Structure 1
Amino acid sequence: MNQQLIEKIVGEVLDQLGKVEAVPPNDLIPIAVSARHVHLSSHHVEVLFGKGYELTIRAELSQPGQFASNETVVIAGPTGSIERVRVLGPARSMTQAEVSWTDAMKLGVDPPLRESGDIGGSGAFTIIGPRGSLFLEEGLIIAQAHIHMAPKDAARFGVQNGDYVTVETNGIRPVSYRQVKIRVSERYRLEMHIDTDEANAGLISKGTTGHLMKSEVNSVKVQLEAPGIITKSKADSSLVYSKKLLSQDDVKELKVQEIIIEKGTIITALARDKARELGISFSFRK
C-alpha cells in the first residue's frame, strides 16, 4: 500500500477517534418478520366460524389496534394446503391471505407481489374454517416489504407516504432490501415488515435493525471521469468503483444509489457512515 493511501486512512481514523461523543444513527429501522396470515371480512368470519362469531384476541401486535387472534384456518391451492394459518384482527372490509413464495410453491399458486389491500386480480385460493369454507377468485398475495411510520418519523427521515427506499440490514448476514414502500399514518408505529423468505435470506431475527436509505427517483445519465472508475448509466443508479481506497470524500462525489466494490478495495469507516447518510448502498464483486 502506498504512503498516500496510508495517510488517508490514518487521517480518517484520527478524525473518528477525535469525536467527543458518538452521534447515534437516526436512520435505524426495527425489522419485524410477518409470517403467513389471513385477514377476514366480518361476513367471512361468520362463514368460516359460525353466525355471529367474532375474533378473539390472542396477542396484541406492534401496530396499534391490531392483534393476532386465537382463530386459525387452512388455506389451500391446487397442489397443497397449509394448516393453522393465523387470522389477524380486527375484521376488515375485504379478505386476503399473505404468504411467502415458498408457501405459494407448496400451494401450487402464483400470487402477485402486492401492497396489502391491493387484491384486484390477485391469486385465487380456498379458505377452510371449522364451520365452513370459501373459494375466493382473488385475495392471495405475497406482501411487498414496507415500513410503517408516523408522520413525525416520515419528517425525520425525509420521506413521504408512497415513497420507495432501500433498507440495509445489520446483523451476521447483511443484506439490502430495495423497493421498500413507505406507509405513513398517525396510527402507525415505526417498523419494517418483511416475509419469512426475505428474513431467512438475511438471517433476520428479533431485534434486527436496518438503515434507511432514500432511493433516487429520476433516471439521468452521468459521466464520471475519475481514473479507476467504470462509468455506468444512472438508469440503474449504480457504478463500479475499482480504486484501491474508498473514502468519505469519494462517496460524497459519486452521487449514485449503489456503489459496486471491486475485490481488494478498502472502505473506510467514515465512508460507510457517509454512504448511509446519503442513502448509498454497497455491493461487492466476487
Structure 2
Amino acid sequence: MDRATIKALVQEVVQNTLHVSTKQVPIAVSNRHVHLSPEHVERLFGRGHELKKQKDLSQPNQFAAKETVTLIGPKGRIPNVRVLGPARGKTQVEISLFDGYGLGVTPPIRQSGDLAGSESITIMGPRGQIKVEESLICASRHIHMHPDDGERFGVKAGDMVDIKVDGPRGITYSNVLIRVSPKYKLEMHIDLDEANAANIKNGQLGEIIAIRCSPEKEGGCGCVCKGNG
C-alpha cells in the first residue's frame, strides 16, 4: 500500500471520528426534585430563609440545596426530596411517573415551565406545609444546548431529535426537545424511570440520529419530519 493511499485512509478515519463525536450528547439522569418560589421558601423554611448550596449542578449557576421537603399526595408521601436553587418565579415539582403511582397522582408529561392545568401537590417543610396548584409535572426528555452547540448540530430551539444510546439495553429516545440558551451547557436530561429502563448512568453518551423540526414547521424544512417521510 503506497503512502498516498495510507494518508487518504487515515484522513477518512479522522473525519469519520469527528463526524461521530459531533453528534454525541452527554446524558444526565434527573431524580425527583423541587423548584421553589421565594415566597414558598419562606413558608416552608421560615421568614427570611435563603436556600443553602450543597453542591453545584452541571448546568451553570444551578445547585442542589441542602434543604429537602416531603411531597404529600392522596395515597402516600415521599420524604427527603431535594430542593434545587436558586429560587424561581414559580414553584415547580418534578417527579417520575412511578413516583406518581405512590403519591396517587398522575403528573402530565411536560416541559419545564409548562404548568397550566398540571397536577397539584402538597409540600411539607420543617416550618410549614402548603398545597400548590398547577405545580406538578413529569419532565419530558430534552437537551440543553449553548447556541454554539445548536449551530454545530444544525438544530434550533424547539426542534425535536431522536437519540440513540448503545449498551446491553440499548434504546432510541424519540421526541427529545432542543432547548437553546447562552446559559446552557450541552446535556440531555431524562428522568429516573427512563434511565433505569435502559440501564443508563450519568455521563453516558447518546447520539443524535435524526432531526425532526418543530411541529409548526413540519414539511418545509428538509429534515426528517412527518412532512418529509
Q: Which TM-score band applies after superposition, normalised by the shorter structure?
A: 0.7 to 0.9
Q: Specify the alignment match of 1:42 in structure 2.
A: 38
Letter in structure 2 aligned against 1:112? P
C-alpha distance in 2, partners of 1:128/1:42?
15
C-alpha distance in 2, partners of 1:235/1:69?
40
C-alpha distance in 1, partners of 2:164/2:93?
27
The reply to whether residue 59 of structure 1 matches residue 50 of structure 2 is no
1:181 aligned to which of 177, 180, 194: 177
The reply to whether residue 100 of structure 1 matches residue 91 of structure 2 is no
C-alpha distance in 2, partners of 1:32/1:125?
25
The TM-score, its normalising length taken from structure 2, stands at: 0.87
Please list every run of 5 or more consecutive structure 2 residues that lacks an aligned counterpart in the other structure. Answer: 1-7
Deviation at 1:206, TM superposition (A): 2.5
Q: CA RMSD in A?
A: 2.0
Identity of aligned residues (%): 51
C-alpha distance in 1, partners of 2:187/2:143?
6
Deviation at 1:183, TM superposition (A): 0.4
Q: Specify the alignment match of 1:260 in structure 2.
A: none
Structure index of larger Rg: 1
C-alpha distance in 2, partners of 1:134/1:149?
34
**Contact 1:29/1:191 (8 A) holds in 2:** yes
Letter in structure 1 aligned against 2:161? V
C-alpha distance in 2, partners of 1:87/1:71?
6
Deviation at 1:201, TM superposition (A): 1.1
**Contact 1:171/1:208 (8 A) holds in 2:** no
The correspondence of residues 13-162 of structure 1 with structure 2, limited to 5 A, is: 19-20=9-10, 21-22=13-14, 23-24=17-18, 25=20, 26-162=22-158
Letter in structure 2 aligned against 1:143? A
Deviation at 1:236, TM superposition (A): 6.3
C-alpha distance in 2, partners of 1:155/1:55?
36
C-alpha distance in 2, partners of 1:201/1:73?
27
The TM-score, its normalising length taken from structure 1, stands at: 0.70
Q: Specify the alignment match of 1:214 in structure 2.
A: 211
C-alpha distance in 2, partners of 1:236/1:150?
27
Aligned residues: 210
- Relative contact order higher in (CA < 8 Å, ≥ 6 apart): 2
**SS of equivalent residue, structure 2 residue 9:** coil
C-alpha distance in 2, partners of 1:120/1:206?
30
